[in-house]
Amino acid sequence: MEIEILDAKNSKPIGKCTVQAQTSVRELKVSVHHLKKSLNPHRQSLRLESRGKTLKDTDTIESLSLRDGAKLYCKDLGPQISWKGVFLAEYAGPLFVYLLFYQRPSFIYGDIIRPVSLTANIAAACWSIHYAKRLLETLFVHRFSHATMPLRNLFKNCIYYWGFAAYVAYHVNHPLFTEPCRGCMLAAVTGFMISELGNFSIHVNLRNLRPAGSTVRKIPVPDSNPLTKLFNFVSCPNYTYEFTSWLFFSIATQCIPAYLFTAAGMYQMTVWAIGKHKNYKKEFKDYPKGRKAILPFII
């Protein structure tokens, strides 16, 4: 049978593809790419209607009830970049930027000379641990359900992460920075390290849910690691631990820009967590009812 592919933007025909009942959307994208070389499979969004929902790569012609002569709409998602590439740029930048300020170059702070405080030293170590961990997770832990994302996200995400890194680092590493209470700082750093371990534990748990090279989705549940027990209360404990990491970092430094970074991150992660929570409940009929999205018993 033949399926006609139309441009979702203006409904102009792109061409016709010969398919079988078991042809998947992923395979159909390859055929569309042959029709129009600029439409790499990763930048295609195939839909039943021009403004409809994007079809899953695993959907088949038969499962979509398409017949000979049916029409599908293809939206060009624009230039793409790998998720791994975006993540590496996002996390390498803040590490470099923060450590640049930590060195107190004269072109930033002038000729003010004062010893670097213990808090600033520990804060630099915490910041470095977090972003080094994220880089290593990107390389060796994360398994991405999608191969690429729009190239524009690279610039948007880098501006956010790199900009906040400079904003926070400028104040924490300033020669006139005033240290907070030593006991409060050390207690907060302890909370930060536990949160970082928790975040890593959740990422490893999620990785083990998805076999390599697949897009399998399962209900996430705790494993033998006690830090994963947070799955009993929220759908996205990785975001919960991420939030508490930066909250403890902010408490340790008593730096207003750090609190603003924490608040901005919490807002965005809450939006993501609520979306994922809704998808879990929609996809899995037996999904645990007592779970919240990101904060136990609250959100």
Residue with the two structure tokens 């690691």: 225
- pLDDT at position 15 over 80: yes
Spatial contact of 80 and 42, defined as CB atoms under 8 Å apart = yes
- pLDDT at position 104 over 90: yes
Are residue 221 and residue 150 in the same domain, yes or no?
Answer: yes
Q: Which of 60, 78, 96 marks a domain boundary? A: 78
Q: What is the mean pLDDT of residues 85-99?
A: 96
pLDDT digits (tens, 9 = 90+) for 26-61: 999 999 999 999 999 999 999 999 999 999 898 999
Q: What is the mean pLDDT of residues 98-104?
A: 97
E-strand stretches of 8-50: 13-18, 44-47
> How far is residue 233's CA from residue 31's CA, in Å, rounded to a whole number?
44
Specify if 290 maps to a domain: no
Are residue 140 and residue 254 in the same domain, yes or no?
Answer: yes
> How far is residue 45's CA from residue 227's CA, in Å, rounded to a whole number?
38
Are residue 69 and residue 111 in the same domain, yes or no?
Answer: no
Q: Quickly state the pLDDT bin for 215 (edges 50, 70, 90).
A: low
Are residue 130 and residue 205 in the same domain, yes or no?
Answer: yes
CATH of the domain at 61: 3.10.20.90
Structural domain for 199, as ranges? 81-283
Q: What is the token pair recorded at 228?
A: 């994963």
Phi-psi region of 257 (alpha: psi -120 to 50; beta: other; left: phi over 0): alpha
Spatial contact of 68 and 19, defined as CB atoms under 8 Å apart = no
Q: What is the token pair recorded at 7?
A: 């441009």
Spatial contact of 261 and 246, defined as CB atoms under 8 Å apart = yes
Specify if 288 maps to a domain: no
Global pTM?
0.87
> How far is residue 230's CA from residue 243's CA, in Å, rounded to a whole number?
14
Are residue 227 and residue 179 in the same domain, yes or no?
Answer: yes
181-218 burial code (b ≥16 CB/10 A, e <16) = eeeebeebbebbeebbebbbbbbebbeeebeeeeeeee
What is the structure's pLDDT at 209? 87
What is the structure's pLDDT at 145? 73
Are residue 11 and residue 152 in the same domain, yes or no?
Answer: no
Q: Quickly state the pLDDT bin for 85 (edges 50, 70, 90).
A: very high
Are residue 41 and residue 137 in the same domain, yes or no?
Answer: no
- Name the pairing type of β-strands 2-7 and 71-76: parallel
Q: Which of 49, 78, 107 marks a domain boundary? A: 78
Residues in the chain: 299
Are residue 44 and residue 132 in the same domain, yes or no?
Answer: no
Residue with the two structure tokens 């009929």: 285
Q: Which of 62, 78, 94 marks a domain boundary? A: 78
What is the structure's pLDDT at 214? 66
pLDDT digits (tens, 9 = 90+) for 219-256: 999 999 999 999 999 999 999 999 999 999 999 999 99
Specify if 268 maps to a domain: yes
Are residue 180 and residue 49 in the same domain, yes or no?
Answer: no
pLDDT digits (tens, 9 = 90+) for 141-175: 998 877 788 998 899 999 999 999 999 999 999 99
What is the structure's pLDDT at 144? 81
What is the structure's pLDDT at 147? 78
What is the structure's pLDDT at 146? 77
Q: Quote the number of domains for the chain.
A: 2
Specify if 13 maps to a domain: yes
